[in-house]
Structure 1
Amino acid sequence: MSIITLTSDIGLQDYLVGAIKGQLWQNCPGAQVMDITHQISPFNLPQATYICKGAFAYFPPKTFHIVLINLFDRKADYVLLAEHNGQYIACADNGLTTMIADGMPVRVVKLPLDKQLPKDTFSIIKRFSQAYQELQKGKDLAELGQPATDYIVKNNLQPMTGQDYIDGQIIHIDNFENVVVNITRKQFDEHRQNRPFSIFFRRDEVITQIAETYADVPEGHKLALFNAAGYLEVAINKGNAAGLFGLQGFHRDQLTSNSGYQQLSFYQTVRIIFG
């Protein structure tokens, strides 16, 4: 059975997610339609990237991932379909393709939208459904649309680094209010170079050890660990780190071209000092 996944910033407060699934089940009979999440913060591309990369890695080849994030960032007559790691990523031309792929995907095509239909979520789902059906019939990606050579390219939000520090940004807060920072274990190890370190996330809060599990500290105590996706996480064992420490997620206005590092709130930045 083939798989279609759905990821969006739509939320679950109205009919839209249910209607999208109904449309997919009508247009793609036999497909297993699965949710990744619909709780992405509106227009939050860094958070969407973190969620998608973490989830997509565990799906089998040929999975068809529909990502409905910032769907109408600009008016366009097409949507994108990319091939990455043997899977397909269907999304708007808004930069997510290269963010999820951590660079340029193997192949990307433009899927033209029907000019007779309104440019809304349902016409886009219909176009993705058509592409899915054609792939199921054995067509190659190149047969589905024109090669995309001028689509929007965006890079992942990277931590700022110096000789003795890394400054990372909070990209996700999970259901337990654990705080995920865009610093990977690899980046941490490369900059640490076996030096002692201190993780600062508030002026009076510091962590100097990396835990393996939440249970490494007593209940109610703070800790830092690298989660299953490989990213730094600040947490409290059986507590809510974000709420207790006043930490917030990353916001869209911090991605604008005139928004420099100095404008990032202290509560949105986690600093690691080495030495």
Structure 2
Amino acid sequence: MALLTLTSDIGMQDYLVGAVKGQLLHIDPEFRIIDISHQISPFNYPQAAYICRNAFSNFPSHTFHIVLVNLFEKKPDQLLLAYHREQYILCADNGLLPMILQEPPELLIGLPSGSSQLRNTLHCCKVFGNAIAAINRGERLTDIGIPDSSYVEKNPLKPLLSESWIEGQIIHIDNFENVVVNITREQFELQRKGRTFSIVFKRDEVIEKISETYADVPEGEKLALFNSAGYLEIAINKGNAAGLFGLQGYLEQAQNTYLQNRLFYQTVKVFFG
């Protein structure tokens, strides 16, 4: 019995998530399907990579993870099936896979998407479902598609580093409007080197200590902590940090003056003393 997860930017406003599950169960009624999230912001690769990477690592070995994020950035001539760290990941060939893995996949298979059929979301899910069913029947991965196929690569969004500071980007805002920054505890401590620090955002908001829980500060006060995934988080005890401070998810294409000015609301900087 195969365990499958679903992650998408589809949302829950129409029929499509239900239809995707129906399509998969039509292929194999024994599939066990678990939702991770269907609320990924459209075209937001850093957020999708953060959510997928930190969810997938907690699943049992040989779980199949179907990622339906920005499926049609380009014409889907092939889809991807990767096996990495005892997990299967199935997604579009749009650059998201290397952002999730942050390293080359151990094994990559290109899944032909077909030339004559209508290549919509349900068709892509059918290709994924048939590949999973084939693996469950004992077929070798190298017989399911094209081994070591070339694929689109996008670089993971990484913090900017200096001897005296580190600047991270806001990659996720959760349901409580806590703000997640792409600085891990490991990166923070490596850059800190035992020095004092000031976490600065929105030009003049400053935090000078790391809390262990939200309750470490009085209600309504701001705090910084490292969340369960090990990433820096800016929060307010029983409040909404993103809304109060006007913080936003990072926009990679900040080319004009207006968008450049918005970077103050999309980045967090740590100064070391």
TM range (shorter): over 0.9
For the pair 1:128 / 2:128, whether they are aligned, the reply is: yes
Structure 2 SS opposite 1:181: strand
Alignment of 1:97-176 (within 5 A): 97-176=97-176
Assess, with a 3 A threshold, how the Cα gap between structure 1 residues 42 and 175 changes in structure 2: closer, same or farther: same
2:243 match? 243
Assess, with a 3 A threshold, how the Cα gap between structure 1 residues 145 and 28 changes in structure 2: closer, same or farther: same
Deviation at 1:264, TM superposition (A): 5.9
1:71 match? 71
CA distance in 2, matches of 1:252, 1:126: 32
1:185 match? 185
Assess, with a 3 A threshold, how the Cα gap between structure 1 residues 77 and 203 changes in structure 2: closer, same or farther: closer
Assess, with a 3 A threshold, how the Cα gap between structure 1 residues 116 and 85 changes in structure 2: closer, same or farther: same
- Counterpart of 1:132 in structure 2: which amino acid? I
Deviation at 1:28, TM superposition (A): 2.0
Structure 1 SS opposite 2:253: helix
CA distance in 1, matches of 2:252, 2:48: 12
Deviation at 1:203, TM superposition (A): 2.5
CA distance in 1, matches of 2:175, 2:203: 25
CA distance in 2, matches of 1:53, 1:274: 29
Deviation at 1:204, TM superposition (A): 2.7
1:62 match? 62
- Counterpart of 1:131 in structure 2: which amino acid? A
Alignment of 1:82-93 (within 5 A): 82-93=82-93
- Counterpart of 1:228 in structure 2: which amino acid? S
Q: Is the 8 A contact 1:103 1:155 kept in 2?
A: no
Structure 2 SS opposite 1:265: helix
Alignment of 1:8-19 (within 5 A): 8-19=8-19
TM-score of the superposed pair, with normalisation by structure 1: 0.95
Corresponding pairs, count: 272
- More displaced 10-residue stretch of structure 1: 105-114 or 148-157: 148-157
Identity %, equivalent residues: 58
Deviation at 1:263, TM superposition (A): 6.7
TM-score of the superposed pair, with normalisation by structure 2: 0.96
Alignment of 1:205-220 (within 5 A): 205-220=205-220
CA distance in 2, matches of 1:193, 1:150: 40
Deviation at 1:99, TM superposition (A): 1.0
2:265 match? 267
Q: Is the 8 A contact 1:111 1:127 kept in 2?
A: yes
Unaligned runs of 5+ in 1: none
Superposition CA RMSD, Å: 1.7
- More displaced 10-residue stretch of structure 1: 83-92 or 143-152: 143-152
Q: Is the 8 A contact 2:250 2:263 kept in 1?
A: no
Q: Is the 8 A contact 1:43 1:252 kept in 2?
A: no
- More displaced 10-residue stretch of structure 1: 172-181 or 95-104: 95-104
Unaligned runs of 5+ in 2: none
Deviation at 1:141, TM superposition (A): 1.4
